[in-house]
Chain A
Amino acid sequence: MSTVRTPRAAPLPTTTGFDVLRWRRDFPVLQQSVHGKPLVYLDNAATAQKPQSVIDAVARYYRETNANVHRGVHALSECATAQYEAARDKVRSFIHAASVREIVFTRGTTESLNLVAQSYGRSLLRAGDEIIVSHMEHHSNIVPWQLLAGQLRLDIKVIPITDEGTLVPGAYAHLLSSRTRLVALAHVSNALGTVNPVREMIALAHRHHAIVVLDGAQAVPHLPVDVRELDCDFYAFSAHKMFGPTGIGVLYAKQALLEEMPPWQGGGDMIRTVRFSGSTWNELPHKFEAGTPHIAGAIGLGAAVDYLQNVGMDRIAGHDQELLAYGTEQLLRVKGLKLVGTAPAKVGVLSFVMDGIHPHDIGTIVDQEGVAIRTGHHCAMPVMERFGIPATARASLAFYNTRDDIDALVAALGKVREVFR
């Protein structure tokens, strides 16, 4: 029996009234020319651009507030603490978590996943336990588990993927067993764009008493996320992919798990008392935030959340689906182009290869036309291996992208053909 159903695309929210050009104006970077051509930024999965409000929030913090948090009685420190904690509450509301105690600020998705592996994994897993990951994971959702597996002698099982780039139906249910303790899974794949049927997969894992860690790095910029509705145990994401600053990210975790887990890093802020006979830990979530955090980053992330909520995640998802459909149709018209990742449920990620032309050459040539895409393995070497290719070219969309951007990409691909005629 397979309870993992083939994913179906969510019903399209109406996109009428989504005024792309209005939102686009909020992004200073997008207003420039590159190599004498208007910039067409289609590398959003690598990192997204920042709206003026985020830039202002970071600058205002340094200009008006800068002070350390949680440790001063003076006015600036109290103000910095209030802003930092307000950002935490914005993030809580953005992903619909129950409590700010469940929102740990980290350096990003990578650090969040390593935190789960080294705190939860290292203290609660035992030799012979199994971890399930999928074949479409980003390296940051593979390597921390490999390190842990080496430390504890765990086994890692891999859910295979189909030629479309979906999880092989039934394979996951087959891998789950009483030995499975943890499932680490991309909510959305960065290399293929696939949206995995995580809700059903989480329910199935829970029936086997396994916990689920979701890598939400590529989901949060595209889809409304509700961690309580998903019932995931951990959810990791990065601010910079959701229009916030680099160097800051989030680990959401159910409170009961965080209470059970030992601290990961030790230092200031994470302790209640320190004595040479032994120390005690601060309350949640501070137990997991050792040292001076990226205060400006957190405040910038809060501003990004405000911005996204103002635009509306449902409207963003609707525009993403519409542009993805248009981009898919247009790219398939390009002679010799093959899409890699054609799952029915996808976000705006268009990975492709062209007959006889290496992705790296495609990237250089379209760049000369002002079109920024990414080429390479996208930190997902197992995906490349699965499809038998060294690399892909990838156009990844954000809500500020337009049909004109897609048209510019297609025109630039025409230049690629010309060079290699």
Chain B
Amino acid sequence: MDLRELYQDVIVDHNRSPRNFRKLTGATRTQEGFNPLCGDKLMLYLKLDGDRISDVSFEGSGCAISVASASLMSQNVKGKTVAEAEQLFNRMRALLTGDGQEIDLESLGNLAALSGVSEYPSRVKCASLCWHALKAALQPPSQVRPTEVSTE
């Protein structure tokens, strides 16, 4: 295994300068995420306009994998509908856990930089944290949502 498969340039870059790393004023949904094992913490903000995610941002602290994953996610879900974002969640879960599904990396764009994670079982949770937070944030508010998602 080559470390560069995990720490691809895109990951290192998004860790160093995370995109959409701020509090979102006017957020319609917020979701906390916590990984008790390594102390990674995340607050995800979404602004929904009807069925569309018009803006997204996050704050928190964590390892390079978790920060880069959240940064990449924020870029990729902006402008998507709830259904499209949920579909992306499913594909990312398959990618990160390496569950054997055939995934078209090309169609994932820069998210494909997370393809090395599945080779490092202890890091899957780091990369998944923000995606679980997204999934929870997309639940209709009428449904009871967890106050905090955890990858433990």
Report A's interface with B, CB cutoff 8 A: 35, 357-361, 364-365, 368, 375-377, 384, 390-391, 415, 419-420
Closest to A36 in B: B1
The residues in B between 1 and 55 inclusive whose CB is less than 8 angstroms from any CB of A are 1, 3, 6-7, 12, 15-16, 37-41
Say if the beta carbon of B110 comes within 8 Å of chain A. no
Residue from A358, A377, A415 in contact with B63 in the complex, judged by beta carbons closer than 8 Å: A358
Whether A391 pairs with B39 at a CB distance below 8 angstroms is yes
Partner of A360 from the list B1, B7, B16, B38 (CB cut-off 8 Å) is B38
Cβ distance B108 to chain A, nearest Cβ, rounded Å: 22
Contact call B122/A364, Cβ cutoff below 8 A: yes
B127-147 CB contacts (< 8 Å) to partner A? none
Q: A384: which B residues are within 8 A, CB to CB?
A: 39
Bound Cα distance from A415 to B4, whole angstroms: 11
| A361 pairs with B39, CB closer than 8 A | no
Residue numbers in B under 8 Å from A415 (CB-CB): 3
Partner of B38, one of A365, A368, A375, A420: A375
Contacts of A359 in B (CB 8 A): 38, 63
With A358-B62, A360-B126, A368-B1 already in contact, the answer to whether A419 and B12 are too (CB < 8 A) is: yes
Minimum Cβ distance to chain B for residue A401 (Å): 23
B positions within 8 Å CB-CB of A: 1, 3, 6-7, 12, 15-16, 37-41, 61-65, 120, 122-123, 126
**In the complex, A377→B122 CA distance in Å?**
15
* Residues of chain B with a CB closer than 8 A to A361's CB: 7, 63-65
How far apart sit A377 and B41, CA to CA, in the bound complex (Å)? 13
- Which B residues lie within 8 Å of A375 (CB)? 38
Closest 7 CB pairs of A and B: A390-B39, A358-B63, A360-B63, A360-B38, A361-B64, A391-B39, A419-B7
Across the interface, do B1 and A390 meet the contact criterion of CB distance under 8 Å?
no
List B contacts of A419 (CB < 8 A). Answer: 3, 7, 12
User: What's the Cα separation between A358 and B65 when bound, in Å?
Assistant: 10
Q: Which of B16, B61, B123 contacts A364 (CB 8 A)?
A: B123
Chain A residues in 8 Å Cβ range of B38: 358-360, 375-377, 390-391
What's the least CB distance linking B121 to chain A, in Å? 11
* Closest A residue by C-beta to B62: A358
CA distance A361 to B2 in the complex (A): 14
Q: How far is the CB of B52 from chain A (nearest CB, A)?
A: 33
Q: What chain A residues lie within 8 Å of B15 (beta carbons)?
A: 420
Q: Which A residues touch B61, using CB under 8 A?
A: 390
Chain B nearest CB from A170 CB (Å) reads 31
Would you mind naming 7 contact pairs between A and B with Cβ atoms under 8 Å apart? A357-B64, A360-B65, A364-B3, A368-B1, A376-B38, A390-B61, A420-B16
Residues of A within 8 A of B123 (CB): 360, 364
Q: B41: which of A35, A364, A368, A390 is its contact (CB, 8 Å)?
A: A390
A376 touches B1 (CB 8 A): no
Bound CA span A377–B16, Å: 23
Known: A360-B63, A360-B126, A368-B1. A377 touches B12 (CB 8 A): no
Query: Nearest residue in A to B61 (C-beta to C-beta)?
Result: A390
Report chain B residues within 8 Å CB of A357: 64
- Rounded to whole angstroms, the CA-CA distance of A368 and B119 in the bound complex is 12
> In the docked arrangement, what's the CA distance between A390 and B6, Å?
22
The CA of A374 and the CA of B69, in the complex, are separated in Å by 23
Contact pick for A376, options B7, B37, B120, CB 8 Å: B37
Residues on the B chain within 8 Å of A35, using CB: 1
Neighbouring A residues of B120 by C-beta, 8 Å: 364
**How many angstroms from the CA of A35 to the CA of B12 in the assembled complex?**
22
Determine the distance from Cα of A35 to Cα of B5 in the docked complex, in whole angstroms.
15
Quick one: closest B residue to A363, CB to CB? B122
Q: Which residues does chain A contribute within 8 Å of B62, judged by CB atoms?
A: 358, 360, 390
Expressed in whole angstroms, the minimum distance between the Cβ of B69 and any Cβ of chain A is: 13
Shortest distance between the CB of B66 and any CB in chain A (Å): 8
Docked CA distance A420–B12 (Å):
6
| B41: chain A residues within 8 A (beta carbon) | 390
Q: State in angstroms the CA–CA spacing of A377 and B35 once bound together.
A: 11
* Min CB gap B26→A, angstroms: 29
Residue pair B39, A420 in contact (C-beta under 8 Å): no
CA distance A359 to B12 in the complex (A): 15
Known interface pairs A360-B123, A420-B64; 4 further A-B residue pairs with C-beta atoms within 8 A, sorted by A's residue number: A358-B63, A361-B64, A375-B38, A420-B16
